[in-house]
Amino acid sequence: MSRTFRYLETAQGSKVTIEGREVILLGSNDYLGLCNDQRLKEASYNAIDQFGCGAGGSRLTTGSYVLHKALEEALADFKGAEGSILFNSGYAANVGAISAITDSKWVVFSDKLNHASIVDGCVLSGAKMVRYKHGDMADLERKIVKFKSNHNLIITDGIFSMDGNAASLPEIVALAKAYDCMTMVDDAHGFGVLGKSGKGTVAYFAEKGEISETDIDIQMGTLSKAAGSVGGYVAGNRVLIEYLRNTARSFIFSTALPPGTLAASIKALEIIKEDEEKRKALFNKIEWFKNRLIEAGFKLTETVTPIIPILVGDPVKTMEMSNRLLEDGIYAPGIRPPTVPKGTSRLRMSVTASHSVEELEYALERIIHHGRVMNLIG
């Protein structure tokens, strides 16, 4: 079955217009509802008015603005790191950082369900990539013992984007210390959502006393999910950041992020740090929505985030369910292999701060109805 684009005709929000129809958007990464936030738009307008639309060059030539410096400093402070470096996307951040840090002398231990950008970064680096079973710390230790060299890196998604579950960071840190490995966490889907002030997955575990935030050597994240803007970053010590500025090819050879998106990201970071109540209200809705689906008989993943996947299994049934919901005015994307492993096709839904209880009630009613009609639940 071929893949079809759904073209949005309005801004991200709890509802969007697709092909002239208003539908509930139940799959966006705009977790905090900031994509269309007036404060971000005003910050972006003002930056465009002052600095123009484009960056005009790469960061190492004519494309660095005071806004780049301000955002990198704000991100470093937010993550409790000595420095940070901006990339044009999360994909560019992973590919650039991994291929710069590691080479043929390195062994990279990567979770089987890590994002494609991590896999591609490892391939480009020439490092030996050893993939361990998803979340299986015993398998990770076996493979470290068998394959480790003088230079080793354990890399994992902090939150897995198609499942919403968290990596076992305390166990990963323990293994890294025991076997002298560096650690890197891709926190694209934890940033802005988990931990105090939305600092992410590492902070989430640190606040429980299970790790220290300094136990993770390299933290990568994005500004395109909870922050409602665009771009990726890597945070770490000063030596690492300076090294990446001079060696990460996706940084060196890309035109810089434009002023409008930088200003929007700076404003988003301010909001994320200050608005703890928005996160609390969001997680109350998430728990309520998840529990209703579980009570109805749906099989979900062990998610700890706004990502709420309904596991269907069969790709044809998955897309049929997605299409049925779209006819009812609900856009819940169906996800199939190769994005997810064979036999695990799913509706990849997400609850956001923008959704009203009434919208979610309607979505639940239709999901449960079609689940029964299609014999997905009893």
Stretch (H or E) spanning 115 = none
Q: Is 189 one of the annotated active-site residues of the chain?
A: yes
Q: Is 151 one of the annotated active-site residues of the chain?
A: no
DSSP label of 88? S
d(CA 22, CA 270): 31
Name the phi and psi angles at 268, rounded to 5. -60, -40
Q: Residue ranges of the alpha helices (H) in 7-89? A: 38-51, 66-79
**Helix, strand or coil, per DSSP, at residue 294:** helix
Amino acid identity at 309: P
User: Going by DSSP bridges, is the β-strand pair 232-236/83-87 parallel, antiparallel, or unpaired?
Assistant: antiparallel
d(CA 275, CA 197): 8
Question: Catalytic one among 44, 110, 125, 161?
Answer: 161
Using alpha carbons only, what angle is made at residue 353 by residues 298 and 35, rounded to the nearest 5 degrees?
120
Amino acid identity at 119: V
Dihedral sign for Cα atoms in the order 48, 50, 56, 62: negative
d(CA 273, CA 284): 19
DSSP label of 82? S
Q: What are residue 25's DSSP bridge partners?
A: 331
Question: Catalytic one among 68, 189, 267, 355?
Answer: 189
DSSP string for residues in 300-354: B----SSEEEEEEE-HHHHHHHHHHHHHTTEE--EE-TTTS-TT-EEEEEE--TT
CA 4 to chain centre: 23
User: Going by DSSP bridges, is the β-strand pair 106-111/151-157 parallel, antiparallel, or unpaired?
Assistant: parallel
Helix axes 259-274, 38-51, angle to 10 degrees: 150
Contact 224, 30 (CB under 8 A): no
The token pair at 105 is 């002398």
Question: Catalytic one among 115, 225, 355, 370?
Answer: 225
d(CA 57, CA 168): 40
- Which residues does the annotation mark as catalytic? 161, 189, 225
